[in-house]
């Protein structure tokens, strides 16, 4: 839909790696800024950030006049949680901790109308508030929003082939931090064993024709590593991190390295 820039995102992801910003702050101006800056997508985080559904709506709306596609990460794989967030008309729904084919199928069902799924029918923003017909909207809703399942537990590896075979999954999103934790390596996402598991996950996803994404650091080395894995999209920055890194850069410039004050 034009309302969420999904077509723009897909068209770019077919040709090159898309980069995005994680949104955790409540002011929708943060998303508006992200859109103006030129990020390909935003990752509005309702799993870990203190954001309400009203706040999420503001973030989704804030990028409408840009080329940025708003993704929403929900707090859990539950149709009751997912349903009202679908009505915001985001470009993608990211569903955390999917570790089995049954859970993947439940995620798809929560995002699609019967007979394919169990989503309740009460569209509002997605219909352009009545500017498009219900029939036209329902056709669009067969592939909008993107359904993105997070593979972030070692248990998912045993069922990965079955997960990838679930009809309706558009993309997988690897969660390096939680994956490492599930392997007994909390805080060691760059551990060699964890990296090898990520390589295996991405190889299987590539073979299955699924888009690959993740939230990772923004260094050229990390981005190149994920590009080699076949990633189509990466969240490589966050609102808080951008503010902190820029602030520290300016403040650290007050000294020239020898302890002497600079022009600041």
Residues annotated as catalytic (active site), given as ranges:
48
- For 74, the token pair is 């929900």
Task: Give which of 108, 61, 111 is closest to 84, Cα–Cα.
Answer: 111
- Residue 133 burial class via C-beta count within 10 angstroms: exposed 0-12, middle 13-18, buried 19 and up: exposed
Please state the φ and ψ torsions of residue 252, each to the nearest 5 degrees.
-65, -25
Contact yes or no for 127/206 (Cβ under 8 A): no
Report d(CA 78, CA 151) in Å as an integer. 16
Q: How far is CA 46 from the centre of its chain?
A: 11
- Residue 67 burial class via C-beta count within 10 angstroms: exposed 0-12, middle 13-18, buried 19 and up: middle
Q: How many CB atoms lie within 10 A of CB 37?
A: 12
- CB under 8 Å to 12, separation ≥6 — which residues? 18, 40
């Amino acid at each position: 839909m034009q309302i969420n820039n999904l077509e723009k995102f897909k068209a770019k992801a077919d040709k090159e790696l898309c980069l995005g910003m994680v949104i955790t702050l409540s002011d929708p101006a943060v998303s508006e800024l992200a859109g103006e800056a030129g990020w390909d997508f935003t990752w509005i985080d309702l799993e870990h950030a203190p954001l309400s559904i009203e706040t999420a709506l503001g973030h989704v709306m804030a990028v409408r006049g840009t080329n940025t596609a708003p993704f929403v990460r929900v707090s859990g794989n539950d149709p009751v949680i997912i349903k009202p967030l679908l009505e915001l008309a985001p470009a993608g729904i990211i569903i955390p901790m999917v570790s089995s084919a049954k859970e993947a199928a439940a995620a798809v069902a929560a995002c699609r109308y019967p007979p394919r799924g169990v989503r309740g029918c009460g569209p509002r923003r997605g219909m352009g508030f009545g500017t498009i017909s219900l029939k036209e909207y329902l056709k669009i809703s067969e592939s909008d929003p993107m359904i993105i399942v997070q593979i972030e537990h070692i248990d998912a590896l045993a069922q990965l082939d079955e997960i990838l075979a679930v009809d309706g999954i558009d993309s997988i999103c690897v969660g390096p931090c939680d994956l490492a934790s599930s392997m007994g390596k909390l805080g060691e996402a760059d551990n060699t064993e964890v990296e090898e598991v990520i390589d295996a996950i991405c190889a299987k996803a590539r073979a299955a024709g699924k888009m690959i994404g993740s939230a990772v650091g923004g260094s050229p080395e990390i981005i190149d590593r994920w590009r080699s894995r076949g990633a189509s999209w990466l969240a490589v920055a966050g609102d808080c991190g951008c503010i902190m890194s820029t602030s520290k850069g300016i403040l650290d410039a007050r000294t020239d390295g020898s302890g002497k004050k600079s022009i600041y």
